[in-house]
Structure 1
Amino acid sequence: MRAVKNLLVLYTGGTIGMLQTPHGLAPAGGFEARMRAWLDTHPTPPRVHWRLQEMSPLLDSANMQQANWLAMQAAIVTAVTRDGHDGILLLHGTDTLAYSAAALSFLLLGLDVPVVLTGSMLPAGAPHSDAWDNLHGALALFESGLQSGVQLYFAGQLLHGARASKLRSEAFDAFAAPARHREGSRASALPAILGYAQPRVPVKLAVLPVYPGLQAEQVQALVVSGVRGLLLECYGSGTGPSEDAALMQALQKARQGGVLIAAISQCIEGSVLFDTYAAGSRLRETGLVSGGGMTREAALGKLFALLGAGLDIDTAERWFALDLCGERVA
């Protein structure tokens, strides 16, 4: 835990800086001037030194893509290793805030600075907005001291970057870290290929929920599309229609064909424990790797970081099964 002396505020867009247009709210530049003007009027402004950098283009976070994750990673690494910043505050839209927090948790492994993501449900300047409270609270955390790693701050809560999810679309306390069963083995050391300096490339990934009526043809179509990683959202503790021979065969062939298939629970407070039910054991036998208690956001971000680093499927599976930054183990 250490106080930050030279903070970079990285503004990516999102509701917090949006202004009204004829087509509705849209990201707008010039947020640094608005932020400084507001802090100048605050009776107790945080005293941390900061500068603001705008990403280009500014985004409504509904448009966030893997390439934007990589651009944020590059900007953060440059700010720390070249420009001497010892903390990063990333302003981001709420739709994909938890996805970006999770992805950056794995893209910035080994970077010894605190990175905090925040945003707001209402634009700064709107009546009764939560924007300035979230911004002021995050700045105060940097002043008082934070541990290294990626975290998400919202509505007074500081959440682990790879455990948070957006649970509400209107309330100010929109984010939480669902209570999930966490156990497993921590990685004893991280190889350089998983560190923050390792280049990544975009990867075709897919998320497929299990539901009554899921067909083998749907898995086959994803394989044909070229996906390298498939996140299967199973029932409860990791079960699915294990008596559907065609579906089981499609999953097995996909794994044999080089697709990493990971299983998580579709329950908000669930986790995969394959051995609890025979239906789960049969799923595992097709070649699925358990995501334990990881959220969708964490599992997707982890798949991206591993496969995007160029790991082969067997190596990626081994690292996926280990805890890298607190995503699997409490």
Structure 2
Amino acid sequence: MNRENHSPATHVMVLYTGGTIGMQASGNGLAPASGFEARMAEQLTGQPALVVPKWQFREMSPLIDSANMTPQYWQRLREAVVDAIEVKGCDAVLILHGTDTLAYSAAAMSFQLLGLNAPVVFTGSMLPAGVPDSDAWENVNGALQSLGKGLPAGVHLYFHGEILQPTRCAKIRSFGRNPFAALNRARGGEAASTLPTALDYRQPKQLANVAVMPLFPGIGAAQLDGLIDSGIQGLILECFGSGTGPSDNPAFLESLQRARDQGVCVVAITQCHEGGVELDVYEAGSRLRDVGVLSGGGMTREAAFGKLHALLGAGLTQDEVRRLVERDVCGELL
């Protein structure tokens, strides 16, 4: 990434959501804790040679373990980012977030903040600030320094000295200092020529009901029907290989057709770590296409989940949602 063409951030809003980075011991184990602003200021003051942009701090409420992250919280986070840029006068935002769902949140915010002319960086840590060998301050300070050097507008994920694209990465390990990695997913999707005004970050978004279902040997219509009947608007179907499923199961295919008829947007992605979906390669994939399943190409689970939430929450027509699922919106397919 060429940062030389991007203006350095001079005033950063730090949004603290909780997560491991600021956790402290409680009677039931590590739990989110207030007071992180003072701890952050103290460690920066102790390093006078470290050059970072001016910053201010906002503690989100409630502070959460990121295992408790929800799409409702994303809406509050989106509003906090917009407030920081358009009301508080900041030119960048740093979001401190737990690692378990950080990739989900960063991908979701990539779609929720389309059109925002400012960089937003997510980071966190694998160990709480202050404990031996913690990675907390190296990630906070590194993210601030990256913003100070200049990053393009849009959402980024910073961890262990690396800037990652949220719509192309995932948390791949539960230990160590670099739990996130860019996935080698298929590229080559067609970019959307124009985006509906409803997707702009200034436009209000409604909550959507999206589910994820991994396929497994022996899966049947009963499991699928349970999700469809729960009132979902979108379903990410994690398929085998290049996008195959139980195509010799008429009841399963009928359930997928019923989902399509009821307006549920079903998107196929691959369970594989690398590659992507090509529904027309095998008959077992083309039959999914025949009953209305859309191709998610090389989208990650996190990107597909965040994208469906944004498209469905924008109040677009069913046809427009289906068209944009298979078009690149912010780097998830290209």
TM-score bracket relative to the smaller structure? over 0.9
CA deviation digits over 1:251-284, x for unaligned, max 9?
Answer: 0111111100000001111300112211111111
Q: Helix, strand or coil for the counterpart of 2:299?
A: coil
In 1, Cα distance between equivalents of 2:282 and 2:44: 56
Q: Helix, strand or coil for the counterpart of 1:276?
A: coil
Q: Helix, strand or coil for the counterpart of 1:50?
A: strand
Tell me whether 1:181 sits opposite 2:181 in the alignment.
no
In 1, Cα distance between equivalents of 2:187 and 2:12: 33
TM-score by length of 1: 0.98
1:1-330 equivalent positions in 2, closer than 5 A: 1-329=6-334
CA deviation digits over 1:123-150, x for unaligned, max 9?
Answer: 0001000001111110110111111110
1:213, distance to aligned residue in structure 2 (A): 1.1
TM-score by length of 2: 0.97
Q: Helix, strand or coil for the counterpart of 1:112?
A: coil
In 1, Cα distance between equivalents of 2:262 and 2:140: 47
CA deviation digits over 1:260-310, x for unaligned, max 9?
Answer: 000000111130011221111111111011110000000000000010111
In 2, Cα distance between equivalents of 1:160 and 1:123: 24
Structure 1 stretches of 4+ moved >3 Å: none
In 1, Cα distance between equivalents of 2:174 and 2:89: 37
CA deviation digits over 1:87-138, x for unaligned, max 9?
Answer: 0000000010000000000000000100000000000001000001111110
CA contact (8 A) 2:159 2:178 kept: yes
In 1, Cα distance between equivalents of 2:240 and 2:205: 32
CA contact (8 A) 1:46 1:136 kept: no
In 1, Cα distance between equivalents of 2:250 and 2:332: 33
In 2, Cα distance between equivalents of 1:23 and 1:82: 39
Q: Helix, strand or coil for the counterpart of 1:55?
A: strand
CA deviation digits over 1:42-82, x for unaligned, max 9?
Answer: 25322311001110000100000011000000000111111
Name the count of aligned residue pairs. Answer: 329
In 2, Cα distance between equivalents of 1:112 and 1:128: 36
What's the % identity of the aligned pairs? 54
Unaligned runs of 5+ in 2: 1-5
- 2:3 match: none
Unaligned runs of 5+ in 1: none
In 1, Cα distance between equivalents of 2:330 and 2:191: 8
